[in-house]
Amino acid sequence: MNRLRNYIEWQVFGVCTRIGELMGVSTFTIRKYFIYISCLTLGSPIVVYFFVAFWMNLKQYILQGKRNPLKYH
DSSP state of 70: G
Supply the pLDDT for residue 12. 66
Cα maximum dimension of the chain: 52
Return the H-helix or E-strand segment holding 6: helix 2-11
Supply the pLDDT for residue 33. 87
Residue 17: exposure state from Cβ atoms within 10 A (0-12, 13-18, ≥19): middle
Supply the pLDDT for residue 13. 66
Residue 1 pLDDT grade (very low, low, confident, very high; cuts 50, 70, 90): low
Find the domain containing 55 and state its range.
Answer: 2-72
- The count of structural domains within the chain is 1
| pTM value > 0.85 | no
